[in-house]
Amino acid sequence: MRAVLYSSVIALVCSLVGTPLVIRMLVKRGYGQLIRDDGPKNHLTKRGTPTMGGIVIVLSTLIAYGATKLATQHWPSASALLVLFLMTGLGAVGFVDDFIKIYKQRSLGLRAKAKLIGQALVAVIFAVLVLHFPDQYGLTPGSTSVSFLTDTTLVLGPVLFVVWAYLLISGTSNAVNLTDGLDGLATGASAMVFAAYVLIGIWQYGQSCVNAPGPGCYAVRDPLDLAIVAAALMGACFGFLWWNAKPAKIFMGDTGSLALGGALAGLAICSRTELLIALLGGLFAIITLSVIIQVGSFKLRGKRVFKMAPLQHHFELLGWAEETIVIRFWIIAGLCVALGIGVFYAGWVTGS
């Protein structure tokens, strides 16, 4: 269990100390955020704020996990490495997107098709690999069964699983990306969900079918190592939030939002809690739903439901202060995490 603490503290320190160094480097090179003209007008004051800060979160997580493995003298697990691959791969797609925005001085980076291809390539590689690397008990990092609190009886088969995993990864990464619109909003909400996965990983380890065989045990390949990864991500987010809170000194950009969304999806797949992520990440789901409603309503009825989508910008145009929106959305995120953890625990109680 010490490894979980090591991982979170190392990532926190790396992110807290590393972020101002990256800020100075980005400012020196003029890598500032470009603001869309059709967005809220008060966002124009944020023009020029350094972006691509997600680099700090990704590197802090990788350093923390690697240092923890060295400190504890344990080999990295397949599950953890695959989640880190998914995070880094999607972060790289986001980095290219952010860099193009800055280099070409436009608010849109990669073309939609190119961005989707990049996300799909990383997601499909992850989905294929996650069904391999069985341990001595025959457990692989992922399963072809659709999971909620554990694997359900709905078995997809390898091909359909790859499709399902792609949809889950794409949906989650884009949901975090949509949420990243106000200072600290996505960072704080993500940290809460990663904290939930720390608890889930530790609980699954204690009640695993290897350590505690019996009714209600969890057939998860590397639950404790997944908790270590989640702890590193949580610590990295909290350290970054110190500099990302309003007024933000740096933005995570697509580099960070795609990476965090990918990490969440990877943790959900490898911990066999794929559908539970909709509860744990309820805020991300709500914000994504607001965009779907807005687009659908405009195409079908020619009318908009919200003043602007995603949802946080609707409240901005209603006159809410940015800090008020962020704090209230954090409260919603916290309630969703609490609900998800409650459902997870209730499932163990009723199933044991």
Instruction: Name the residue type at position 118.
Output: G
Q: Would you say the C-alpha torsion 81, 84, 90, 92 has a positive or negative sign?
A: negative
Q: Are the C-beta atoms of residues 140 and 134 closer than 8 Å to each other?
A: yes
Report the distance separating Cα 157 and Cα 269, nearest Å.
15
The four Cα atoms 324, 259, 194, 73 give a dihedral, to 10 degrees, of -150
Residues 6+ away with beta carbon under 8 Å from 259: 54, 57, 58, 87, 88, 90, 91, 94
Q: Are the C-beta atoms of residues 283 and 190 closer than 8 Å to each other?
A: no
Identify the pLDDT of residue 44: 47
- 105: Cα within 13 Å, side-chain hemisphere: 1
Token pair belonging to 70: 């060295």
> What is the CB neighbour count within 10 angstroms for residue 134?
12
Per-residue confidence in pLDDT tens, the chain, 352 aa: 789 999 999 999 999 999 999 999 888 877 665 555 555 555 545 566 888 899 999 999 999 999 999 999 999 999 999 999 999 999 999 999 888 888 776 666 677 788 899 999 999 999 999 999 999 989 999 999 999 999 999 999 999 999 999 999 999 999 999 999 899 999 999 999 999 999 999 999 999 888 778 777 899 999 999 999 999 999 999 999 999 998 889 999 999 999 999 999 999 999 999 999 999 999 999 999 999 999 999 888 888 998 998 999 999 999 999 999 999 999 999 999 999 999 999 988 886 5
Identify the pLDDT of residue 215: 77
Name the helix (H) or strand (E) containing 152: strand 151-155
The CA-CA-CA angle for residues 322, 264, 187, to 5°, reads 25
Q: Are the C-beta atoms of residues 31 and 50 closer than 8 Å to each other?
A: yes
- 135: Cα within 13 Å, side-chain hemisphere: 15
pTM exceeding 0.85:
yes
**CA dist list (Å): 261 to 96, 131, 152, 171, 189:** 17, 20, 24, 8, 11
Token pair belonging to 59: 């590197």
Instruction: Name the residue type at position 63.
Output: I
Burial class (CB in 10 A: 0-12, 13-18, 19+), 287: buried
Report the distance separating Cα 127 and Cα 144, nearest Å.
10
- 253: Cα within 13 Å, side-chain hemisphere: 36
Report the distance separating Cα 10 and Cα 147, nearest Å.
32
